[in-house]
Amino acid sequence: MNGNLHCPLCGDGRVEDFYRDRRRQYLRCVHCGLVFVPPRYYLGSAEEKAEYDLHRNEVDDPGYRRFLSRLADPLLARIPSAARGLDFGCGPGPALAAMLKEAGHQVSLYDVFYRPDAEVLQRSYQFITATEVVEHLHEPGLALEQLWENLEPGGYLGIMTKLVRDAESFARWHYKNDPTHVCFFSESSWLWWARQRAASLERIGADVILLRKAQGLC
């Protein structure tokens, strides 16, 4: 176990060593299965934003749109027409929001660095998306709980993030090398999270998770 460290997803203090390289230590929560780095490895806000500013994800880039369609297509097949949604962590080029708007939906934007409009986090939505976001969160438990509260009964929370399999594959995994990636979910982490909220879960492909809020529940 690792002193006073607690899992940033579930808050449990039962954490164990999972992997270590020359850059960082990675811990695993025994309770929910989240793999995470201790807070001493977090970048400062300016350093973190500088990393994101290096990304070149343009709204009209065909390759980027194909990548995002892995979440957009199954989500569009499930939500009602003219639905109200939120693209959480939209980044400087909100291509997913543009794709959903083109399909006839209303989409609000939030990003702590590029669209820091806290007012949109006070509304309710029929769908919420977070593509390549949760792995950056320092407090994923709090952030996901906030989004779940914003979601209407029957609504969908669509997540895109690469999933941890085991320590052996983790050692070779490029995804862990990004210094802004601090939380790594496994499928079992999402199953645990869904069970706590009586949510239905669908895994689509390698990296898309759709969580549906039960009807009649807040």
The predicted model scores a pTM of 0.95
Report the C-alpha gap between 192 and 149 in whole angstroms.
18
Compute the residue count for the chain: 218
Residue 218 has pLDDT above 50, yes or no: no
Q: What is the pLDDT of residues 190-209, one digit of tens each?
A: 999 999 999 999 999 999 99
- Angstrom distance (rounded) from CA 160 to CA 194: 15
Tokens of residue 187, six digits: 């499928």
Strand order of the sheet with strand 125-131?
106-110, 84-88, 125-131, 151-160, 208-212, 200-204
CB 64 within 8 A of CB 95: yes
Q: What is the pLDDT of residue 55?
A: 82
Arithmetic mean of pLDDT, 124-148: 98
How far apart are alpha carbons 215 and 21 in whole angstroms? 45
Q: What is the pLDDT of residue 198?
A: 96
Per-residue confidence band for 56, with pLDDT thresholds at 50, 70 and 90? confident
DSSP assignment letter at 44: P
**pLDDT of amino acid 58:** 86
pLDDT of residue 217 exceeding 80: no
Measured from the Cβ of residue 49, the count of other Cβ atoms closer than 10 Å reads 14
Supply 26's token pair.
């990675």
